[in-house]
Amino acid sequence: MILDDVHRGINKNKKRKRIGRGPGSGHGKTSGRGHKGQGSRAGNSSHPTFAGGSMPMVRRVPKRGFNNRFADTVVVVNVGQIDAVFEAGEEVTLEALATKNLAKGRFDLLKVLGDGELTKKLKISAHRFSKSAVEKIEKSGGEMVTLPGKTPVAQKQREARAKKQAAKS
């Protein structure tokens, strides 16, 4: 190992490339743009997926199925998970599930499924319940509260129209 060779070629503050400052700079004449062609002209900008005229990767990859952007995101929680985390007589709400890390992230609806056993009497609030979950909650002597989902836009429009007509007459 040569001691004076250790830091050779390492510059703490690298100087910027000064383009178009004559042939001695190494970046003179064409200023790193090459000769002719699209990239050499001013105002050149090509799309990031442009592949030089050949079929772009985006169009080559097969596409299947349908992804509904407007569908409600449903988070599922099993009865067994609720039983493990909550004490008897407690109230299971969306906020309580979020604090206990059972319903994470952003979602529109919460559905309780019947996987596992429920041994405690609980009051569970959710948007949907599976048949097996309903049976297990009733069997344990618990209570279910069905929460309302998002109101559809059409329904809101209907209500607004009815309110407007009521105000007119």
How does pLDDT run across 26-79, given as a tens digit for each residue?
999 999 999 998 889 999 888 888 888 899 998 999 999 999 998 999 999 999
pTM over 0.75, yes/no: no
DSSP category for residue 39: G
Give yes or no for a contact between 105 and 75, defined as CB atoms under 8 angstroms apart. Answer: yes
Q: In what order do the strands lie in the sheet with 74-78?
A: 74-78, 109-113, 128-129
Q: Domain spanning 74-146: which CATH class is it, in words?
A: alpha beta
DSSP category for residue 143: E
The domain limits of the chain are 74-146
